């Protein structure tokens, strides 16, 4: 059955788009919540008191689907005031989701370690919302689901005083069935979260930090994550597309339905199906009878001729398709009615894991140029924002990254939508630990009860994304070197294979040797830092049939724009107070040479990778700085965010960005000089100049005089060094050559006194939807417009028109000004303001930046 496509497909993926298709209504439930946080338990509930009632939620994701039964009788919590309709929540904060209750601060929250980011993530948070149901919602023909993309953490949910269910793992997505408790008119939804201290080794955020959806469907419908699409044979002339549809009947009588799937091409430029487009392939209707309370799978297969394949740019194109599955039933009058329409985006592609070549996508070798990232989006925290995520990925893609590891937990679903659209390869990671923990309250507390359900739910959610190229079942788990590592690894990998036979599994190991049990079990050898010490060779000889990659590399640490002297002559060094680290101010040198003991500079990693050409590539720790883990300043009085990023927390590029760009986009003409050239206190002193470039040769000019033309030392090196340059004010100019021809030029000039603020914005127009963001950069400049590289003037942002300043930052891990503050010191000459348009508004928003004694700057953003 073919429907006019325009009426079927509302395929916007901006995270909050609501979509109604025949038989299915999925709408955002983000608006109008009330919230209160309690630092001591306000209700005498806990996960332990609720556990027996929440565990049955896991059943859908267990092989033994009857494993858990809720105790009889009323579940705890029904007498708590916050779940009651008559509770007066007028004094609670009023907000829209996604929400991170900790991000506004204050910093140095009691009990929160440097590792966790020193923000008040802990405590119990209650959320309440009024939910209106119509007569037809409760006429007995529908199921009404509440889908959480993520809630941090130990969620428990009540509707009209009844415990509906919950899910403890804060990084997981989950569904609750509201149907039994929903009534016509007003309903009270109440969500309790309980966030422990030391529940992660990084900033986990807190609250309902991802999107929440209300899904209304016929009682017979495509189940949650109810399609599985695979493309077992792919060529340029034809692809087989297999579709398994799980039909669920929650009604109390057997239901007969026709199941059909039509496949449409997604237009790359609009990211939707072109209006009026015909299906490119269809799976003929299959009629099934689904018993009351049962699920039934329907297997279908079709061929797509001349498929447009999905693959990572620049060599390939991330083409997408959408499978539109319809269920139709015959009504009393004999006519067929569509009772559900379910859309699944997917890509047609093949992947192969070649032990000697690395990753093959559609038969073509793709070197994995990846980064690891944590979930926070800097100054806006973990509250999921589509634009913030898109901006990160765009920055990474500009650098030449083609891969992302979702360290160390399931990402927001929209991150994978973006990865699909942009052509990123994703290593999708489930856990940071198994049964043995790394910090007091991490996943080890849940492992035994929840690992099967968490892993199956995660894979079912994500397995149709073409961007996902492998599953990571764990990061540096404590069991990695013991025999238990082998047995748990085998169990988890078996689960993953049973949910998805098409992808291999990896695990990130930093200590296991080649003879340990875990590497023997796991499909792909993932090495964290071990490869940099030569372990690639020993693993490859022991496992010649397994692909190997660097699941975590480098851990280079630096503060953007902050150069410390003297500079080591080595190409990689462990930081120390005599080199690379300023322990007084907690700065780390931006020469991009320094690491903690286990790491290696990017230069060292490149050499290590090139020595072993069978290695599939790397995932650098990390793409962006993140809140928490401010190694080496995690102790008391230390810093608040990490130094590992190639890009700082505000999104400003560190010099390292250009080092990776030189390696990953070697055809892009590039030359990047460091340091800056404004050193009034260093006149006559040795001030090494380095240039990052993929050129064959680079000549450096200091105040017009050549300091020498250097050849690139070897194919793994992208750093040209003039280590004995003496500083004198003026200019640096680097001229890069390829094949004997001038290829790229870069310059640095000595700045004069700060004179003005130069204000720019990442996009001149943003959507007036209350979510889209403009990133407004402020540079402190001299009278000639040259950035004053060590300026730290306090900049004050103001916004006029229908917009709002959400947060500010400067990328300095030691800055303890609260993120929402309109006043922000520049760090190494730069500050950032994040501005959101008011919902439903058009017109223009003007952002002004002022600083004492400097000419102010301004930028105008158009809302559309």
Contacting positions for ligand GAL (CB under 6 A): 475-476, 510, 528, 552, 555, 621, 629
Q: Please report how close the Cβ of residue 567 comes to ligand GAL at its closest, in angstroms.
A: 22
Structure tokens at 302: 């079709």
Asked if 699 is an active-site residue, the reply is no
Q: Please report how close the Cβ of residue 531 comes to ligand GAL at its closest, in angstroms.
A: 13
d(CA 551, CA 476): 10
d(CA 319, CA 271): 10
Residue (152 or 835) nearer to ligand GAL, CB: 152
d(CA 65, CA 424): 35
Q: Please report how close the Cβ of residue 503 comes to ligand GAL at its closest, in angstroms.
A: 22
d(CA 725, CA 181): 75
Are 185 and 99 within 8 A, CB to CB? no
Are 547 and 358 within 8 A, CB to CB? yes
d(CA 535, CA 540): 8
23: left (phi over 0), alpha (psi -120 to 50) or beta: left
Residue (394 or 510) nearer to ligand GAL, CB: 510
Q: 3-state DSSP: the chain helix, strand, coil percent, rounded to 5?
A: 15, 35, 45
Q: Please report how close the Cβ of residue 510 comes to ligand GAL at its closest, in angstroms.
A: 5
Residue (149 or 476) nearer to ligand GAL, CB: 476
d(CA 423, CA 313): 6
Residue (443 or 621) nearer to ligand GAL, CB: 621
Q: Please report how close the Cβ of residue 390 comes to ligand GAL at its closest, in angstroms.
A: 24
Determine phi and psi for 206, rounding to 5 degrees. -160, 140
Closest CA to 488 of 427, 429, 431: 431
d(CA 400, CA 391): 14
Task: Map tokens 């994040």 to a residue.
Answer: 834
Closest CA to 655 of 693, 619, 681: 693
Angle at the Cα of 684 (from 680 to 688), degrees rounded to 5? Answer: 90
Q: Please report how close the Cβ of residue 557 comes to ligand GAL at its closest, in angstroms.
A: 8
Q: Which of 552, 592, 618, 629 is catalytic?
A: 552
Q: Which of 248, 265, 452, 476 is catalytic?
A: 476
Q: Please report how close the Cβ of residue 444 comes to ligand GAL at its closest, in angstroms.
A: 16
Closest CA to 811 of 785, 835, 829: 829
Residue (202 or 652) nearer to ligand GAL, CB: 202
Sign of the alpha-carbon dihedral angle for 334, 337, 340, 345 = positive
Residue (435 or 798) nearer to ligand GAL, CB: 435
Residue (389 or 600) nearer to ligand GAL, CB: 600
Are 459 and 473 within 8 A, CB to CB? no
Residue (262 or 532) nearer to ligand GAL, CB: 532
Q: Please report how close the Cβ of residue 508 comes to ligand GAL at its closest, in angstroms.
A: 6
Closest CA to 845 of 854, 853, 836: 836
Closest CA to 644 of 528, 536, 778: 528
Are 665 and 655 within 8 A, CB to CB? no
Residue (194 or 552) nearer to ligand GAL, CB: 552
Sign of the alpha-carbon dihedral angle for 644, 645, 646, 650 = negative
d(CA 826, CA 778): 8
Residue (258 or 603) nearer to ligand GAL, CB: 603
Asked if 747 is an active-site residue, the reply is no
d(CA 217, CA 175): 14
**C-beta nearest to ligand GAL: residue:** 555
The β-bridge partners of 587 are 582
Q: Please report how close the Cβ of residue 202 comes to ligand GAL at its closest, in angstroms.
A: 7
Q: Please report how close the Cβ of residue 476 comes to ligand GAL at its closest, in angstroms.
A: 5
Residue (572 or 786) nearer to ligand GAL, CB: 572
d(CA 13, CA 80): 38
Other Cβ atoms less than 10 A from the Cβ of 724: the count is 11
Residue (115 or 466) nearer to ligand GAL, CB: 115
Task: Map tokens 């309109």 to a residue.
Answer: 822
Other Cβ atoms less than 10 A from the Cβ of 213: the count is 18
CA distances to 60, 214, 379, 851 from 293, rounded to whole Å, are 12, 21, 46, 66
Structure tokens at 426: 């994703």
d(CA 527, CA 368): 14
Are 802 and 863 within 8 A, CB to CB? yes
Q: Please report how close the Cβ of residue 47 comes to ligand GAL at its closest, in angstroms.
A: 25
d(CA 443, CA 168): 10
Q: Please report how close the Cβ of residue 273 comes to ligand GAL at its closest, in angstroms.
A: 40
CA distances to 78, 129, 130, 162, 191 from 133, rounded to whole Å, are 21, 13, 10, 16, 18
Residues recognised as catalytic: 476, 552
């Amino acid at each position: 059955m073919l429907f006019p496509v325009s009426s079927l497909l509302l395929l916007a993926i901006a995270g909050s788009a609501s979509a109604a298709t025949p038989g299915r209504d999925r709408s955002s439930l983000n608006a109008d919540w009330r919230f209160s946080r309690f630092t001591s338990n306000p209700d005498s509930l806990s996960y332990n008191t609720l556990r027996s009632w929440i565990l049955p939620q896991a059943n859908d994701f267990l092989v033994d689907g009857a494993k858990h039964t809720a105790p009889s009788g009323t579940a705890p919590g029904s007498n708590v005031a916050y779940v009651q309709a008559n509770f007066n929540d007028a004094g609670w904060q009023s907000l829209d989701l996604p929400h991170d209750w900790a991000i506004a601060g204050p910093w140095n929250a009691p009990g929160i370690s440097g590792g966790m980011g020193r923000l008040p993530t802990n405590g119990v948070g209650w959320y309440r919302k009024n939910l209106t149901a119509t007569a037809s919602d409760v006429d007995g023909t529908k199921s009404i689901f509440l889908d959480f993309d993520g809630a941090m953490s130990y969620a428990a949910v009540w509707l009209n005083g009844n415990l509906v269910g919950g899910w403890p793992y804060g990084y997981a997505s989950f569904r609750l069935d509201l149907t039994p408790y929903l009534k016509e008119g007003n309903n009270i939804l109440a969500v309790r979260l309980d966030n422990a201290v030391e529940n992660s080794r990084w900033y986990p955020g807190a609250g309902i930090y991802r999107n929440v959806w209300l899904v209304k469907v016929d009682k017979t419908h495509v189940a949650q994550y109810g399609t599985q699409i695979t493309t077992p044979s792919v060529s340029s002339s034809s692809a087989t597309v297999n579709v398994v549809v799980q039909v669920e009947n929650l009604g109390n009588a057997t239901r007969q339905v026709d199941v059909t799937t039509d496949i449409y091409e997604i237009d790359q430029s609009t990211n939707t199906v072109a209006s009026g487009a015909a299906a490119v392939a269809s799976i003929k209707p299959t009629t099934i009878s689904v018993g009351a309370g049962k699920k039934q799978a329907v297997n279908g297969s079709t061929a797509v001729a001349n498929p447009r394949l999905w693959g990572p740019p620049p060599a390939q194109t991330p083409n997408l398709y959408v499978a539109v599955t319809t269920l139709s039933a015959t009504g009393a009058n004999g006519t067929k009615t569509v009772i559900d329409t379910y859309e699944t985006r997917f890509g047609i592609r093949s992947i192969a894991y070649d032990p000697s070549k690395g990753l093959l996508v559609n038969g073509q070798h793709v070197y994995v140029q990846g980064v690891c990232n944590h979930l926070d989006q800097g100054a806006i925290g973990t509250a999921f924002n589509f634009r913030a995520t898109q901006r990160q990925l765009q920055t990474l893609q500009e650098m030449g990254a083609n891969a992302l590891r979702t360290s160390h937990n399931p990402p927001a679903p929209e991150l994978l939508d973006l990865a699909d659209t942009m052509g990123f390869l994703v290593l999708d990671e489930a856990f940071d630990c198994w049964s043995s923990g790394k910090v007091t309250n991490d996943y080890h507390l849940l492992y035994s009860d929840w690992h099967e359900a968490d892993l199956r739910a995660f894979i079912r959610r994500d397995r149709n994304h073409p961007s996902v190229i492998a599953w990571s079942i764990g990061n540096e788990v404590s069991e990695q070197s013991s025999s238990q590592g082998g047995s748990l690894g085998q169990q988890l990998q078996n689960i993953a294979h049973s949910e998805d036979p098409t992808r291999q599994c990896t695990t990130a190991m930093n200590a296991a040797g080649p003879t340990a049990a875990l590497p023997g079990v796991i499909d792909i050898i993932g090495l964290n830092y071990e490869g940099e010490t030569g372990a690639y060779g020993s693993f490859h000889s022991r496992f010649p049939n397994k692909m190997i990659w660097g699941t975590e590399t480098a851990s280079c640490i630096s503060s953007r724009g902050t150069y410390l002297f003297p500079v080591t002559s080595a190409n990689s060094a462990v930081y120390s107070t005599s080199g690379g680290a300023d322990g007084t101010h907690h700065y780390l040198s931006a020469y991009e040479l320094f690491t903690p003991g286990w790491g290696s500079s990017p230069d060292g990693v490149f050499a290590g990778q090139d020595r072993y050409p069978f290695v599939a590539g790397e995932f650098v720790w990390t793409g962006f700085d993140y809140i928490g883990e401010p190694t080496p300043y995690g102790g008391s009085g230390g810093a608040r965010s990490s130094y590992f990023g190639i890009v700082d927390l505000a999104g400003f590029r560190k010099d390292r960005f250009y080092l990776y760009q030189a390696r990953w986009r070697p055809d892009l003409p590039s030359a990047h000089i460091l340091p800056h050239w404004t050193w009034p206190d260093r006149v006559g002193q040795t001030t090494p100049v380095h240039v990052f470039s993929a050129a064959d040769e680079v000549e450096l000019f200091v105040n017009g005089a050549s300091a020498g033309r250097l050849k690139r030392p070897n194919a793994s090196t992208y750093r040209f060094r003039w280590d004995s340059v003496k500083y004198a004010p003026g200019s640096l100019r680097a001229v890069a050559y390829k094949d004997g021809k001038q290829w790229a030029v870069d310059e640095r000039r000595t700045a004069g006194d700060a004179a003005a603020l130069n204000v720019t914005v990442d996009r001149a127009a943003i959507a007036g939807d209350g979510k889209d963001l403009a990133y407004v950069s402020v540079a402190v400049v001299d009278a000639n417009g040259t950035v004053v590289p060590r300026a730290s003037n306090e900049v004050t942002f103001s916004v006029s028109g229908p917009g709002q300043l959400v947060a500010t930052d400067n990328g300095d891990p030691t800055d303890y000004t609260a993120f929402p503050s309109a006043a922000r010191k520049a760090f190494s000459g730069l500050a950032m303001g994040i501005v959101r348009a008011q919902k439903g508004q058009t017109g223009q928003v003007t952002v002004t930046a002022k600083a004492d004694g400097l000419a102010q700057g301004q930028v105008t953003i158009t809302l559309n």
